[in-house]
Each structure stands twice: as structure tokens, then as C-alpha cells.
Structure 1
Amino acid sequence: MKRPAFSLPRSSRWVPGNQFELLENGEDFFPRVFNAITKARREVMLETFILFDDKIGQELHAALLAAAQRGVEVHVLVDGFGSPDLPDTFVGSLVDAGVRFRIFDPGRRFLGQRLNMLRRMHRKIVVVDGELGFIGGINYSADHVADFGPEAKQDYAVQVRGPIVAQMQHFTREAVLHRNERKRHPAASAPSQSDAGTAHAIFVTRDNHDHQSDIERHYRVALRSARHRVVIANAYFFPGYRFIREMRRAAKRGVDVRLILQGQPDMPIVKTAAGLLYDHLLRAGVRIYEYCDRPLHGKVALVDDDWSTVGSSNLDPLSLSLNLEANVIIRDRAFNDHLYGRLSHLMENSCKQIEAVAPGRWNGLRLLRSYAVFHLMRWFPAWAGWLPKHQPTITLANPGTAAAEPTGSATA
């Protein structure tokens, strides 16, 4: 069955006819992406927060270079804070081959320190020929494969086929290409998309203008409707008051609510911040597991038997209130069941369950901490809006050099 080409992004419209495949860690993800780029015929659109000049970055570089050299239109957007130190030779060779290589808000250094840490482009999206897509939390760096060692990250992405890929393609082109470029280079996909599976999906994004809370809203709606199980695995967890309230309410009405967080964090403050919420959640019946094998970097969740989400958005102030993010929301029993199996394996074999503190005599310090955390969660979304705002620019690297010049303002 053919479906009409997608018009404008709408984060509340379910699109049927899609197929999703869970990709766990770099061992699953990188070969799929590199192979898709190798087979690209018309167009590659790639956005990422981190791209490093290591063995993974070099493999991506080789695939992109070969695609451009055989005439594929290749567009790459990296974040200026997440990918600050790419060598001129790395970028220059791509640009010389015809890759349109852009940097989101490069920023400047002061006394060697990067100051452009707020409102980052944190998305990880690939679209090939308008037919095959990838989205998730995995960056292009060697710390996403197991042979990196104890600091290798546990993470997830999905491979996507079906009509929802047209939305992903349209979004990336709108985000990356200047208006005049879009006119000169129309989308390379066919005018319609064939059904590829039975999954319904929503492509949902977060920005600092029209879609400031879309991803969080989908989470809260799913929590509110949960009937028997919720599993959330998220690397950086410190959501707002309304999110925590929905988790507590679900647990209190008998839903099995489980939370998988970092037990071996890549940044110690991550565990400290999440730990402030433990008592509040445990007392409501939420079960908390800390993943202890290596740093957890995933951003996935499931509710009941058919709702799931995979993407780039953490559940912390940066992702929920500042950064540019992208997730897919999936309604599909088979995918939900497979994701549940993988997360259950994690909980059973690699996690420590956190036990609630036994009731005891009144503890003034504990009460004061709970009061402070409660009000911090309640008000931080409003406070985030007071943080410095600016209109980020997307800069385009010039042929013959890695130097970049502004091509226009970005939607942040």
C-alpha cells in the first residue's frame, strides 16, 4: 500500500506501516549505518552530537567519502560542543570530495575553555535515500564498542523503514539545509513511501521554540495510561516534578514501574543527582536498578505491551529544557516485547536493585533534602528558560580547507 508523502512535522500524528529493529551498542549500530551509507544511491543526511577522529570516526569518514566520490549528495551536521577537535584534514578531505559538512554553533574558547555548553544539537539521526533511517543515542566514537574497555557505553538505537522515514528526512533537510539549498536540491526520495511493517510511529523532536516539551509530554501521557508495566532506562535522570508525579501515581495504582539508571556513571554528579530522587520514588513503589557493568548511555522506555520510545533525549534538565533532541515513539507489540527482553536481561544480570531505607525515627536532614529536591524539580523548567539565550548559527566548511563560514541561523 502506498501512502502520500509527508507534509509538515506533527508530533501527535501516528503514522502506520513502519518496521523498527533494535540495535544494541556500537557492535550492532555501526555496521548497519556504514553499510547503508556504502549502498546509498542518492542522498545521505547525518546529524550527530559527537564525531571523533578515532577508529569509528575514521570508518564513518571512509564511508561518507566514498559515497560523495560516487556522486551521492552527502550532508553532515555535527555539534560544535560535542565535536570540537576534528582535524582540518578530516573535515577538509570530506569537503573536497563534495560533502556538505556543517557545524552547529561552533562557539569560541576563553582561556582554553569551551563556553558554548548550553542549548546543544544533541540529536543522532541518519537518513539514506529517504528510505532507511537510524535514530537513537549512539555517537560516532570508539567508546560505544566493547573493546574500548570498562568505560565502553551501553546504548541503543533503531533502524527504521516505512513512511515515518519521510518525516525524518524532511526534518533533517529543514534543520540542515538553507532555504536556497532546499530549492536547488529537492529531496532525493520518491514521492510516496511503501509500508514496511505493522508498527505505528511518531517522530517527535524538542526545540526551544514550538516544541519545547513534546518528548516529555509523550512520556507523561504514556505513564498516565500505564496499566501493568513501565520500564525506563535512561543515562541522565533528573526530570521535573510532573514527570516524577506520574511515575509515583502509576506505581501507587499497582503498575510495575522500573527505572534503570547508571551505577558506574561516566560523570559522578549523574549518580549523585539521580540519588536525590531515590527515596521519593521508592516510597511510592518504584523499583530502581543501577546498571553496574559499564556506563549506561541509553535513552529508551516501554509502557505496557506495545508503547516504546528510543532516541537521543535524556530525562534531565539539559535534554528536557535546553538541547535539541529527537525520539521515535513506537506502537508495536513485537518491538516492545523484544526491548523488554533486553532490558530484563540487563536488570537480571548486570544491575543492583536499590532497597528502600527502612522506616526509622524522624531524620531532619533527610526531610530537608526531600523538601529541597521537591521544589527544585517543581521549578527547574522555568529556571532553565532564564539561562542565556542566543540564536545559534550553522557554519559550512569551505572547499580546500576545514574553515567554516556561517550559512544561517539554526532553529534552537
Structure 2
Amino acid sequence: MNNARWTAGNELELLENGEEFFPRVFEAIAQAEQEVVVETFILFEDKVGLALNEALLTAAKRGVQIDLTIDGFGSPDLSEEYIGALCRAGVRVHVFDPGLRIFKWRTNMLRRMHRKIVVVDAKLAFVGGINYSADHLLDFGPQGKQDYAVQIRGPVVGDIHRFVHGALADGLRHQQGKRWFRHRPLMRKRAKALPPAGDAQCMLVTRDNTRHTNDIERYYRLAIRSAREHVTIANAYFFPGYRLIRELRRAAQRGVEVRLILQGEPDMPIVKIAAQMLYHHLVRAGVKVYEYCERPLHGKVALVDDRWATVGSSNLDPLSLALNLEANVLIHDRAFNQTLRAKMDHLVDHACKQIDRESIGEPTRLQLLRSYFVFHLLRRYPAWLGGLPRHVPQLVPAGAGADTLTPMCPTPPQGAAQ
């Protein structure tokens, strides 16, 4: 479903936080002429979720074809009114692994659909880490998240468009009467290559539980291994496998400036505890570790030297690297790197504290024992987690098999759009 390749001729724009991201997405939906595809992990029924609902309803009522995919774990509490209005307007709402609740416990905690992608008219795409919730806005308060996405025009949008439709087709393949996804003439028409829109080379890289289990991590490692001057990684949930830690240490030891920007004010305390277990290994090898202390960091971005960068949904933790469905865009473009580096420099200079050897101190025996355990856990956990049940949760219409998403979106008749 995903044949990753570098594609030239793209125009990119970095979007920071919901203040920049949401208006662009809603404007793109308002201008859509034929089709909108949205994938998101979290969709809350707050002011942002209601604004998305209104944008999709307005587009659907003027005849735009819309597919909205949400994750059953990340978006479990949407009301019947919210989903029903979309369904009645013709929006196809799909739930990834809605799961069941047993005594109020959710059973769909692993292998989540964590991607955040929007494609409009197969000409404009958005990829990043921003969900549709008010906690991605600064006016949310101290818990408002710091995050990033990228707006894309150009030929790589065709790759992203094919991917999201392949994901829909694969997810719905098990349902009788859903094969119309593969055969609509409109889709074949839109498969034509898009003209160049800029100078950037891009590649969509995804992670799944079948053929692309470690693609995103592998591209991270390759980029770090090739670094000659500079590496910056800003990542919300940082507890990667041993091989990625090893590449970071080796890069620092050969003289590359390696900076990690991690959560100092985490939305979940375990996040900081896990990352802190790695500080001795990283700092003693020359890696510069910074904790972002202004608000919770939710970003998943990185840059290497003056050309390579990535923006996407993938954290560098066990869930994202070994279980979740993720999507990142890789970028070769000096201008984009300069913009992203300026953003990262601003965080380091104005909103971070550096974790140095003095602040860590000499490790105690207990810390050394814990480090020994963490070291071996990091060497093994990708394989262990990969051994968990590899069922591939399916997409279902909103309400089918979910106890909170009750409305059933209508299914087009067998011969629809042939």
C-alpha cells in the first residue's frame, strides 16, 4: 500500500500549533470542489471539533465527497448528534478499532490509528501531529500543546492521496459491499501526476503492522548516521529502541551537535520519568538534552544538517515505533530546514532548560542498576512488542461495534459512483 519514494517539485509550509493549522485546514475544506479525506487520532466535541464538524457539513451539503476516519481509542466520546449530523449530510465516518468496553475498561488500547492527514481535491495535503481538539490552542491555558504540521502542494500530494485511499480500501475490504472504494472513476482520474509547485523533495513514510513495521525509525537512523554537523529532534514521547539511541550517541561522539528537545512539563508524568532514564546514556556521550518547560510538548519533528527534516505523527516511543499506525513526511529542502531550525532554536533559547552533567550528578548504585535494566529493555522491546497479537483492526462505519458512537452512517448502494 505504501511504496515510499522521493518526489521532487513540492511546496511546503510549516504550521505551528492550532492557531496556524486549524484556519488553513478549515479554509481548504471550504474551498474543496470534489473531495476531502481526513484521518485523525483525536477528535473532541469542543470548539475545534465543532468547527471541523461545521466545515465538513457545509462542504458535504454542496456535494463534496468526504471521508472522515477517527480512532476508536482516541475519539471515543462523540455524541450521537455530532456523528448523526455528519452521516445525514453524506459524510462517511469510519472508526478504526472501535472496541468494546468491559466494566468501563476499554479494550482497544494497542495498535491505534495515530495518523493525522488531510487531503483536499488530491491537490493539497496536511501532515503532522495536531489533533482536532482545543488543547492545541494557546488560549487553552498552561496545558495547551506545542505542536507542528506541514502544508504540502505538489506531486507528493498524489502519493499521500493514494495512500489514504489505499488505507480506506484495505480497512473496509472485509465488509460486504464496500469494494466501491477501489473502483470509482473519480479516483482513477485523480491519479494523474500533479505539476511541480516548488523546489522541495518529499517522501511519505508510514508505519503499519504488516509490511512497514519499522520504516519511520529506519529513516531516522539513516539520517542521524549521515549527519555531519547538526541533529535536532523535538519529540513529545521519547523512549526509542537501542539502535536509535546508539546512532545519537555515535553522532555526538564524532563531533556532530546533537540536540534533543523533550517534555519538561509533560501531559503524562510517566513520559518524563521514562525519558529521564536515558539522560545518563545520552548526556555522557555528548548529546545535548533540553526540557521544554513552557507547556506540554506534543511535536514530532526533526532536522539533520541543512537539508533533511521530518514532520509527522510518530513519537519515538514503544507505541509509535512498534504498535501504532503512523505517518511522517520526510523533506529535503534547505529553506524548510532553515524555518524549522529557527523554530527549534527559539524553543531552546527561550523556553527550555538544559540537562547537563552537573544537574544529573553521579549515578547511584540504584540508578546504575536501573540503567542496566533500561539498556537491555531498549535492546529487546521492539521485538517483544512486535510479538503481540498482530490483528489488524478494521474500519467500521460509526456505530458498528462501538458503544459510544451509535449512529450508523449510510453505505452507498452497490453500484454507487461506478
Q: Name the TM tier (shorter chain).
A: over 0.9
Query: Over the residues paired in the alignment, what is the CA RMSD in angstroms?
Result: 2.0
Corresponding residue number in structure 2 for 1:392 = 393
Q: Counterpart amino acid of 1:40? A: A
Report the 3-state secondary structure (helix = DSSP H, G, I; strand = E; otherwise coil) of the residue aligned with 2:315: coil
Written as runs of structure 1 = structure 2, the 5 A alignment for 1:3-402 is 9-11=2-4, 13-177=5-169, 178=172, 179-184=179-184, 186-187=186-187, 189=190, 191-357=192-358, 363-397=364-398, 402=407
Deviation (angstroms), 1:176: 1.4
Corresponding residue number in structure 1 for 2:416 = none
2:291 and 2:354 in contact (8 A); partners too = yes
Deviation (angstroms), 1:403: 3.2
Q: Counterpart amino acid of 1:205? A: T
Provide the rounded CA distance (Å) in 1 between the counterparts of 2:79 and 2:372: 48
Deviation (angstroms), 1:359: 9.8
1:223 and 1:230 in contact (8 A); partners too = yes
2:2 and 2:206 in contact (8 A); partners too = no
Provide the rounded CA distance (Å) in 2 between the counterparts of 1:302 and 1:116: 33
Aligned pair count? 399
Provide the rounded CA distance (Å) in 1 between the counterparts of 2:385 and 2:323: 7
Provide the rounded CA distance (Å) in 2 between the counterparts of 1:338 and 1:327: 18
1:393 and 1:406 in contact (8 A); partners too = no
2:162 and 2:191 in contact (8 A); partners too = no
Where structure 2 has 5 or more consecutive residues not aligned to the other structure, the ranges are 173-178, 401-405, 413-418
1:91 and 1:402 in contact (8 A); partners too = yes
| Seq. identity, % | 61
1:398 and 1:405 in contact (8 A); partners too = no
Provide the rounded CA distance (Å) in 1 between the counterparts of 2:203 and 2:387: 30
Corresponding residue number in structure 2 for 1:3 = none
Q: Counterpart amino acid of 1:302? A: L
2:165 and 2:181 in contact (8 A); partners too = no
Q: Counterpart amino acid of 2:112? A: R
1:101 and 1:397 in contact (8 A); partners too = yes
Provide the rounded CA distance (Å) in 1 between the counterparts of 2:358 and 2:278: 13
1:171-225 Cα distance to aligned partner (Å, 9 max, x none): 1011113433221354263622010000001100000110000000000000000
1:125 and 1:135 in contact (8 A); partners too = yes
Provide the rounded CA distance (Å) in 1 between the counterparts of 2:257 and 2:215: 25
In terms of mean alpha carbon deviation, does 61-70 or 362-371 score higher?
A: 362-371
Corresponding residue number in structure 2 for 1:410 = none
Q: Counterpart amino acid of 1:9? A: N
Report the 3-state secondary structure (helix = DSSP H, G, I; strand = E; otherwise coil) of the residue aligned with 1:193: coil
1:16 and 1:198 in contact (8 A); partners too = yes
2:158 and 2:191 in contact (8 A); partners too = no
Deviation (angstroms), 1:368: 1.1
Provide the rounded CA distance (Å) in 1 between the counterparts of 2:399 and 2:18: 31
Q: From 403, 408, 411, give the equivalent of 2:408.
A: 403
Provide the rounded CA distance (Å) in 2 between the counterparts of 1:23 and 1:156: 6
Where structure 1 has 5 or more consecutive residues not aligned to the other structure, the ranges are 1-7, 408-412
Provide the rounded CA distance (Å) in 2 between the counterparts of 1:55 and 1:252: 48
Provide the rounded CA distance (Å) in 2 between the counterparts of 1:310 and 1:341: 15
TM-score, normalization by structure 1: 0.93
Deviation (angstroms), 1:357: 4.2
In terms of mean alpha carbon deviation, does 174-183 or 235-244 score higher?
A: 174-183
2:73 and 2:112 in contact (8 A); partners too = yes
